[in-house]
Amino acid sequence: MEASYVTRTGPPPGATFSAFERFFRENYATVVRIAHGVTGDAQAAQDVAQDVFVSAFRRFPDPDGAPEAAGWVRAAAAHTSLNAIRGERRRDRRQQECAAAPPPDSPEESVLAAESRAEVRRALQRLPRRSAAVLVLRHSGLSYAEVAEAMNVSVGHVGTMLRRAESALRKELQK
Amino acid sequence: MSHVPVPVLRRMQDEPLAVPDADRRHLAGCARCQDARRAAEADAAFAARVLGPPPADPDTSAEWQKLVARLRAPVPLPAGSRRPARDAARAPRRLPRRLAASLSTGTAVTAGVLLVGAAAAATLTTVYAPTHVAPVPVTGSDLSALQSITNLAQALTGGLSSRGPTTLPFGQVTWHAAGQARKVASLAEAQAQTGLTRLVPAQLPQGIGAVRGIIVQPQVTATLKFNANAGHGVGGSTLTVRGGPGVLVQFGGQPGQPAPGTLVVATMRRPVATSTGATANQLEDFLLDQPGVPPLLAQEIRMIGQSALPVPVPSGMTQENVTVGGSPAVLLHGPAGAASGVVWESGDGVVHAVAGLVTSADILNVARQLS
């Protein structure tokens, strides 16, 4: 067995960071918003975003020549964060945060408290994966066209998926 | 005019200018469509509330610097050393412990074997030779995600049964066995065919009777040939995982006992993985980049350590870390304490497993006689 030293994540030969930095700055906030919609935790969302962009760099070292890259990182943000909320550690932390929150004093806060963040995450896990993804993509502020690009569906189909997903989410939380 | 389609009613709330005028005119005079729109609006508003407000604007520049540091960081890794976790600053994550009933344990183990083999081969560039065991809570949800996207588990199960080539989305798996598993007449014969010793304990737990059967499993080899376009530099390379040979000895209960005890003792050569044509991190990156590989499963496998043989812990089983003959061992027992099992690797590269309808103390007593 030979001794070897490996570089885990270095850029491919000839690749530069400049094009990727532009891509990162244009898309980072969106990716964090999507991940936050799932995790409900700012730090966890930034962790997900870092992982997403590491993968994106490997796949699209020159994103200027890859028009699909933006849609890819958005979809990756949704799926990566949906996978991440299966971790018990984060879920437990969120539940503790919910338990420690002060009593709600407005109807809006009451709804949020009743449908605690942990319950929302569990409900997202119970939804079909594509339904959960379309929910968090749209409610992170993406347009229908952007959601369609990320989900690889027609713009018209986004409305269908979204309507079903929102109805299903409400039913899950009001069981 | 027909009623306004529900998706259009939903979009009207978000992007009203994208909705045709004809639909808007119809809506103004149609009570049914107005009701449908109100229902869609209520569900949308509910979703917006529970999904929470957006986070504060992140510090993009600081996050970019973190990313650059991560992309540039070389990790010197002498072959044979333990590999650090992908991001050492992040806390280890635990997998959820629910095992979906829809997936059999066999499928879980089979899928895990290749994933672990691939990850481990990547770790050591060319060779995976575990020196100890470690528990891995395998979850049905992780494997469901894996199966739904890559069909890997299903393909592997089929491959095991057919022993022939099985096509995966990124390559082809070929299973080859040096022979069929078969019963042999004596322990001496099993030893002669496999070279394995210490196959049974000198003293059996109370209630356990004579040997009922001895099965020899010849060495099994799984070869994964990546497609030429597999990406990450692994295209055209080959990953080979070899396991066995092994011996399984089954004991029956004693005559006259109200609940006949059952005990099995399995002994096998540790699995070894080799990789040709691709570097360590190319293989790992490829594996982790597969959309069907749940990140938590991949991270857990990586964090287990590159010299560890993961032992799947099914749902409902309690797991303890113990030692057998000075080697780390994973002890599993059921909720009622009636069934137990222990797995460990002895220092000579042999993996042992003892399981039965006996107590944990009895299982450990048997195990320590074999060490």
Is residue A14's pLDDT more than 70?
no
CB contact under 8 A, B139 and A21: no
Task: For chain A, give the mean pLDDT.
Answer: 76
A169 to chain B nearest CA, in Å?
7
Restricting to A residues 38-57, those with a Cβ less than 8 Å away from any Cβ of B are 40, 42, 45-47, 49-51, 53-55, 57
What residues in B contact A9, CB-CB < 8 Å? 70-73, 281, 285
CB contact under 8 A, B125 and A6: yes
What residues in A contact B306, CB-CB < 8 Å? none
Local confidence band at B97 (pLDDT 50, 70, 90 cut-offs)? very low
CB contact under 8 A, B55 and A45: yes
Q: Is A144 on the interface with B (CB under 8 A)?
A: yes
Is residue B92's pLDDT more than 50?
no
Residue pLDDT, tens place only, B271-289? 777 777 666 567 767 776 7
- Residue B201 in tokens: 């304990």
- Residue B58 in tokens: 């992140």
Closest partner residue to B281 among A6, A40, A143, by Cβ? A6
Statement: A18-173 belongs to CATH 1.25.40: no
In whole angstroms, give the CA distance from residue B349 to residue B283: 25
What Cα–Cα distance (Å) separates residue A62 from each residue in A20, A69, B81?
6, 10, 34
Chain centroid to CA B270: 17
- Mean pLDDT for B22-50 is 89
Closest CA to B295 of B83, B90, B51: B90
The whole-model pTM stands at 0.44
B61 to chain A nearest CA, in Å?
8
Neighbours of B74 (CB within 10 A): 11
Contacts of B172 (CB under 8 A, 6+ apart): B165, B166, B224, B225, B227
State residue A91's pLDDT score.
44
State residue B291's pLDDT score.
64
State residue B304's pLDDT score.
40
CB contact under 8 A, B281 and A9: yes
CB contact under 8 A, B281 and A89: no
Contacts of A77 (CB under 8 A, 6+ apart): A30, A31, A34, A35, A48, A49, A52
In whole angstroms, give the CA distance from residue B139 to residue B97: 6
A61 to chain B nearest CA, in Å?
11
More confident call, B9 vs B71: B9
CB contact under 8 A, A28 and B64: yes
Probe site for chain A from B43, B128, B144, B297 (most A CB atoms < 10 A)? B43
Give the residue from chain B lying closest to A25, CA to CA.
B60
What residues in B contact A163, CB-CB < 8 Å? 6-7, 9-10, 40, 43
Q: Phi, psi (5° rounding) for residue B227?
A: -60, 155
Contacts of A126 (CB under 8 A, 6+ apart): A172
Is residue A112's pLDDT more than 80?
no
CB contact under 8 A, A7 and B80: no
Residue pLDDT, tens place only, B105-160? 333 344 344 444 444 433 333 335 566 666 666 555 544 444 443 344 434 333 34
Closest partner residue to A87 among B55, B281, B296, by Cβ? B296
Is residue B267's pLDDT more than 90?
yes
CB contact under 8 A, B46 and A140: no
CB contact under 8 A, A21 and B77: no
CB contact under 8 A, B54 and A141: yes
A103 to chain B nearest CA, in Å?
17
In whole angstroms, give the CA distance from residue B44 to residue A137: 13
CB contact under 8 A, A84 and B55: no
A17 to chain B nearest CA, in Å?
8
Chain centroid to CA A47: 11
Closest CA to A143 of B38, B37, B18, B43: B18
Restricting to A residues 75-134, those with a Cβ less than 8 Å away from any Cβ of B are 79-80, 83-84, 86-90, 108, 111-112, 115, 117, 120, 125, 129
Local confidence band at B364 (pLDDT 50, 70, 90 cut-offs)? very high
Is residue A132's pLDDT more than 90?
yes
CB contact under 8 A, A47 and B90: yes
Closest partner residue to A163 among B40, B148, B232, by Cβ? B40
What residues in B contact A1, CB-CB < 8 Å? 79-80, 124-127
- The residue extents of the domains of chain A are 18-173
Residue pLDDT, tens place only, A63-77? 888 888 999 999 999
CB contact under 8 A, A7 and B75: yes
Tell me the three state secondary structure of residue B165: strand
Is residue B305's pLDDT more than 60?
no
State residue B1's pLDDT score.
60
Residue pLDDT, tens place only, B203-258? 888 888 888 889 998 888 888 888 888 887 788 888 777 788 899 998 887 766 55
In whole angstroms, give the CA distance from residue B63 to residue A45: 12
Strands (E), chain B: 127-128, 132-136, 165-168, 171-177, 182-184, 208-217, 220-226, 238-243, 246-253, 263-269, 272-276, 308-312, 318-324, 327-333, 340-346, 350-356
What residues in B contact A56, CB-CB < 8 Å? none
Q: Look up residue B67 and give its amino acid.
A: L
CB contact under 8 A, A112 and B43: no
State residue B131's pLDDT score.
66
A28 to chain B nearest CA, in Å?
7
Local confidence band at B86 (pLDDT 50, 70, 90 cut-offs)? very low
